[in-house]
Structure 1
Amino acid sequence: GGEEQTRYCTDHSILFRQESYFAYLFGVREPDFYGAIDISTGKAFLFSPRLSEEYAIWLGKIPSLSYLKERYEVDETYYIDEMESVLSSLATGNENVLLYLLHGLNTDSNKFSQPAIFEGLKTFKSNLDILHPILTECRVIKSDLELNLLRYVSEVSSAAHVEVMRETRVGMKEYQLESTFLHYTYMYGGCRHCSYTCICATGENSSVLHYGHAAAPNDRTLEDGDMALLDMGAEYHFYGADITCSFPVNGKFTDDQRMVYNAVLRAHKAVISAMKPGVSWVDMHKLAEKVILESLKDANILLGTVEEMMEKRLGAVFMPHGLGHFLGLNTHDPGGYAEGLERPKEPGLRSLRTVRVLQEGMVITVEPGCYFINATLIPAMENSDTSCFINKEAIVKHQNFGGVRIESDLIVTADGCENLTNCPRETWEIEAVMS
């Protein structure tokens, strides 16, 4: 399991959140545990740190092994210093015990999970290749219990987004919107953690895809005429939501805001209507791009045929990120690139977090967006392959617009999908809530 961390060299502990694979198998909330499952019998073993008496003074009652066994519903509980002897006792005949250790690449972060290390490990044979892809594939298809947790946290997060809409006023700070969301999900949903850093972007900030980081800490003042893009999700018992709402901070859409918003909403609806088992996620991404490009052409922002725009990958100029990602214990849940699947190289498509065909039981976000980002627009206007499609006068008018993203969380069902997100999406619904 995960280890407790401190803030750099201090004794200030960072609030612990369990490593996701360990949470998936054992559900343990505390740090510094080990777990094992005997593949031949299915028996589950949990190994607890042997805590000192000082623990009881500072952190509370020391849990007994019997308590841990009952709480986490495992077959056996021991202390970590007993692990070598317990695992050795599982040997059959003269064969040494083979340990399958978790080690593999997360294709979203390009970081590797670190295999377990403990005293006595070298006395066992071990394999670092087999377990990770199997467990990752298990996590791709959610159980009924997992789906119920995701339904709950999506319900709480949706309600919190609605509360933020109601409370938004010109003159507030972006961080006040974040604060409203955090308070609501914890106060009324029992969600101590968020599943990721809140993105509370207004005005031009809404074109910064992962705004809200340390160098851009949701601190702008909301101005009349701004669009807000709020990407926030709570976490409950390790499972998270990931929802984005976009709306005018003054509660009334301008004609330009309505045009861009409805372009994204049409793409959002088109994808959800087309989703079902057997559908390619790459095709869904292209569908979203196509619908957005059609809307921008209708608004005279783009010129030419949409088919030619798609061939030249113009959609990536306005939506440089992928359409969505698996959701579960991680915001970007693993399994998007199973063995044999290669990441596309074309603009936009190379940002896809999965290229898989949809299967029943997958949970995936649908988050099309349309952004006016100088870092993508200027090169496109300077490139002869794409500049011919761009109405430069119209683009200049929208350069300070920012962006719109609409994100919902979906379960793939036997004949379609179930939308877990319950937020106002139509422009008239948003205006009614904000009034």
Structure 2
Amino acid sequence: MASSLSPPEVPMELHAKNREKLLKSLTQHLSTSSRPLQGFVFLQGGEEQTRHCTDHVELFRFVSMDIIFDAFSSPFVVHAFEYSLKLRLQYGIGVLRLQLVKSYKNSYEEVGEKPLYYPLILLWQKIAELNWSFADVRPFTSMLCPISTRIQNKFLTRQRLGILILEDEIEIREGIDKFKMDLNTLHPILTECRVTKSELELTLIQFANDISSEAHVEGIDKFKMDLNTLHPILTECRVTKSELELTLIQFANDISSEAHVEVMRNAKVGMKEYQLESLFLHHTYMYGGCRHCSYTCICATGDNSAVLHYGHAAAPNDKTLQEGDMALLDMGAEYHFYGSDITCSFPVNGTFNRDQSLIYNAVLRAHNAVISSMRPGVGWVNMHKLAEKTILESLNEGGILFGDIDAMIHERLGAIFMPHGLGHLLGIDTHDPGGYLQGAERSKEPGLKALRTTRELLEGMVITVEPGCYFIDALLVPAMENPKTSKYFNIQEINKFRGFGGVRIESDVYVTSSGCVNMTKCPREIQEIEAVMAGAPWPIPKTTIPSANGEI
């Protein structure tokens, strides 16, 4: 099937606005804490990784915390983000970006030169002393870029180095005479790199935690370091999305939804799970230009669908699809770093039987109930409990459980059937950060302890809604043997679902000022799924992201 979609243009304004957002948050924090408004945010970029014990280079992806600032997707990059209020007002935001290609670095070491990234930090201070006027450079979109063409040839000359002010972060090759050039400032800073006491007062703000480590470059120990301020501020900047970011997330959802439909249409008994994965990957790359997936594809059928993160190296989507199996396919494409996270469940033969319909509709009711209740100010813990309650009610109506629903909730019976959290923030990462505010404690109760966020919803959040119902012996057997909970189970009915696996329905939802928008466009009702699997068309209408006032 061809696609009606095409990859959208990515405006560089997206990254400029992200930098502006961080700058405002950071300067506000520093002002509130009576700290000086000068220094650099210093970020260590990713490095190319080789496969174990070989020279095979794995496909590189930019570090997520860097992507918020920069559109470049190359390895060996160090970013220095200048946040001096004085310089910001006079020159706009300065982003110093250095391509630390290994051959360049080795050339410097051979001739005894100090690395570029250290003197570049000092360069901003030198420019602050100059009486330059950049009235023709728009605030928040200017980039200071050192120009060198002969580094790899082991020598630097003043004639080949300069400072160029760029507009809109795009190198302008024509009309360069319209910009102010200074061919004298950079060379002595690069070659001498002498530091005075006043220059040492510059603060480098980075972050370091259990997952991320601080940037390490030669000479960084000469500066004051702050490893505590940046991470919570930068994380909070990623919690809500701009309209430009939402456009990319929407496209990732659109092309992924289309690919899920393509997989549904082609799924047949006798195929391998990995063939379903292959269909998805081909469609999103062929028609959406999505080289990366947001995560490893989960293509689980039969009892494999009760394994929450099936599809890893030890369970590589390799089962043969059997008559009577349900398929649970959790797959999402990533476009220009922004992801999607979508799960569809359907019978591999194209027709729901009674038992499959019962479990599927239980999950669909929970999915729809949550989305109908979402709006700013609603607590995510309450949404999780709503999903649990809705599933328990459906299982009770279907004769799988019996008894008082409130008593079941008190005994945390919902976690037996849905042991994972309801959803998570989504953006540059599948599990975007910011789910827990500083100081928030994680619940120790079954099910609730698996929540990836406990926050109240905010306008601009993108969050997944992914209720599920699974029949997992490791959870069911102890609950059926526990005197407190055994009375709720219809053992005869439960035994019918041994080996059933599970059902999950997952959509990506954007919180608006008055409600929410489901960004995922997959068939969800049973009649829709059966029709699509029988060959019926499934158009994906173009989605317009609501503006700040919630209107389309």
Q: Does 1:355 align with 2:454?
A: yes
- Counterparts of 1:128 and 1:27, CA distance in 2: 25
SS of aligned partner of 2:80: strand
2:481 equivalent in structure 1: 382
1:46 corresponds to 2:90: no
Higher RCO (CA < 8 A, seq sep 6+):
1
Shift of 1:370: 0.2
Q: Secondary structure at the match of 1:385?
A: coil
The one-letter code sitting in structure 2 at the alignment partner of 1:194 is C
Look up the match of 1:6.
50
Select which of 495, 509, 517 maps to 1:418.
Answer: 517
Paired residues for 1:325-344 under 5 Å: 325-344=424-443
2:393 counterpart SS class: helix
User: In the alignment, is the contact (CA less than 8 A) between 1:46 and 1:74 conserved in 2?
Assistant: no
Aligned to 2:445: 346
Give the drift of 1:91: 9.1
Q: Pick closer, same or farther for the CA change 1:95–1:216 going to 2, 3 Å.
A: closer
Mapped contact 2:379–2:456 kept (Cα < 8 A): yes
Task: Measure, in 2, the Cα distance between the counterparts of 1:268 and 1:171.
Answer: 30
Measure how far apart 1:52 and its partner are. Answer: 3.7
Q: Matched residue of 1:132: which SS?
A: helix
Q: Percent identity, aligned pairs only?
A: 61
**CA positional deviation for 1:27:** 2.3
What does 1:97-116 correspond to in 2, within 5 Å? 97-104=202-209, 111-116=210-215
Q: Does 1:257 align with 2:356?
A: yes
Q: Runs of 5+ in structure 2 lacking a partner?
A: 1-44, 107-139, 152-185, 535-552
Counterpart in the other structure of 1:164: 263
Indicate conservation of the 8 Å contact 1:207/1:402, yes or no: yes
Report SS of the residue matched to 2:469.
strand
8 Å Cα contact 1:140-1:326 kept in structure 2: yes
| Cα distance change, pair 432–352 in 1 and its aligned pair in 2 (3 A) | same
What is aligned with 1:322?
A: 421
Residue 242 (structure 1) aligned to one of 341, 365, 369: 341
Structure 1 residues 90 and 291: CA distance shift in structure 2, 3 A: farther
Question: In structure 1, what is the Cα distance between the partners aligned to 2:488 and 2:147?
Answer: 66
Q: Secondary structure at the match of 1:273?
A: helix
1:97-153 per-position Cα deviation (integer Å, ceiling 9, x unaligned): 11001223xxxxxx4211110011111110110000000000001111110100010
- CA offset digits 1:50-88 (Å, max 9, x no partner): 5649x9xxxxxxxxxxxxxxxx96522349999xx68x8
Map residues 273-288 of structure 1 onto 2, 5 A cutoff.
273-288=372-387
Structure 1 residue matching 2:488: 3-state secondary structure? coil
Question: Structure 1 residue aligned with 2:498, among 395, 399, 410?
Answer: 399
Query: CA deviation digits over 1:345-374, x for unaligned, max 9?
Result: 100000000000000000000000000001
Displacement of 1:384 after TM fit?
1.4
Match for 2:144 among 76, 88, 93?
76
Cα contact 1:198–1:232 (8 A) shared by 2: yes
- The match for 2:408 is 309
Look up the match of 1:178.
Answer: 277
- Secondary structure of the residue aligned to 1:75 is strand
Aligned counterpart for 1:189 among listed residues 288, 291, 315: 288
Counterpart residue number, 1:428: 527
Q: Are the aligned partners of 2:200 and 2:222 in contact in 1 as well (CA < 8 Å)? A: no
SS in 1 for 2:334: strand
Name which of structure 1's ranges 95-104 and 148-157 shifts more when overlaid on structure 2.
95-104
Change (3 A) 1:91 1:150: farther
For 1:36, the equivalent position in structure 2 comes to: 80
Output the CA distance in 2 between the equivalents of 1:303 and 1:16.
52
CA contact under 8 A between 2:200 and 2:223: conserved in structure 1? no
Secondary structure at 1:393's aligned position in 2? helix
Structure-to-structure mapping, 1:81-100, within 5 angstroms: 93=198, 96-100=201-205
Q: Quote the Cα distance in structure 2 between the aligned partners of 1:198 and 1:7.
A: 20
When residues 144 and 383 of structure 1 are mapped into structure 2, their CA distance, relative to the original with a 3 A threshold, is same
For 1:99, the aligned partner's letter is: L
The 2-side partners of 1:121 and 1:192 are apart by 35
Kept in 2: contact 1:207–1:403 (CA 8 A): yes
Does the 8 A contact of 1:265 with 1:425 survive in 2?
A: yes
1:286-339 CA distance string (max 9 Å, x none): 000000000000011111111000000000000000000000010000001120
Residue 183 of structure 1 deviates from its aligned partner by: 0.3
Alignment counterpart, residue 468 of structure 2, candidates 365, 369, 389 = 369
Other structure's SS at 2:251 match: helix
Offset at residue 94 of structure 1 (A): 6.0
Of 226, 230, 241, the match for 2:325: 226
Note the residue ranges of structure 1 that are not aligned, 5 or more in a row: 56-71, 105-110
Report the AA paired with residue 509 of structure 2. Answer: L
Kindly state the Cα deviation for residue 9 of structure 1 after the two structures are TM-superposed: 2.2
CA distance in 2, matches of 1:50, 1:96: 29
1:22-68 CA distances to partner (integer Å, 9 max, x unpaired)?
Answer: 11111220001011111112322112225649x9xxxxxxxxxxxxx
Contact kept? 1:48, 1:79, Cα under 8 Å: no
- TM-score (ref. length: structure 1): 0.91
- Equivalent pair of 1:271/1:366 in contact (CA under 8 Å): yes
Q: How many residues align?
A: 411
